[in-house]
Structure 1
């Protein structure tokens, strides 16, 4: 499962361009990963937020077998370009 998470000042505000609240984002990520009663969505958000830092930007995540297996961060505030 792949998704693009958008953060504004460190707060997740959208999944694949669709604006949603944090609880909605967690539910959406869990639903897409097929793990409705799991903490995978919240773990994915925390990992993505940690990779991006406190600023704004996007993080591409890949989830596989209940784990976050890929991250690509894009932020105009970053000193580095993490795109692969």
Structure 2
């Protein structure tokens, strides 16, 4: 069995702007997640971006996503504007 693949997505006003601190476009974020997960011609990257965005109430902040066996299996969201910090 493979270990889950982790990535930190940074969002600004609901738009993914970085993966693990590297500036990307939306399409590049999707491609990078697919590449890391080892999937080709899959919508896993776009699903991960969409699910991560929904985890941020304000649309801005960071989400640590975990991808495993073609699924999004974990999320940890952090935002300066959040009332809660679930990473603690």
Quickly name the TM-score band, shorter chain normalised.
Answer: over 0.9
The size of the alignment, in residue pairs, is 84
Q: Give the structure-2-normalised TM-score.
A: 0.91
Runs (4+) of structure 1 moved beyond 3 Å? none
What secondary structure sits across from 2:39 in the alignment? coil
Q: Quick one: distance in 1 between partners of 2:36 and 2:12?
A: 22
Structure 2 gap ranges (5+): none
RMSD over equivalenced CA pairs, Å? 0.9
Alignment of 1:32-51 (within 5 A): 32-51=36-55
Q: Quick one: distance in 2 between partners of 1:65 and 1:72?
A: 19
1:58 aligns with one of 57, 62, 65: 62
Given that 2:58 and 2:81 are in contact with CA atoms closer than 8 Å, whether structure 1 keeps it comes out as no
Q: Quick one: distance in 1 between partners of 2:45 and 2:9?
A: 11
Q: Quick one: distance in 2 between partners of 1:30 and 1:39?
A: 8
CA positional deviation for 1:40: 0.1
Given that 1:8 and 1:55 are in contact with CA atoms closer than 8 Å, whether structure 2 keeps it comes out as yes
Q: Give the structure-1-normalised TM-score.
A: 0.95
Work out whether 1:15 is the aligned partner of 2:19.
yes
1:80 aligns with one of 68, 74, 84: 84
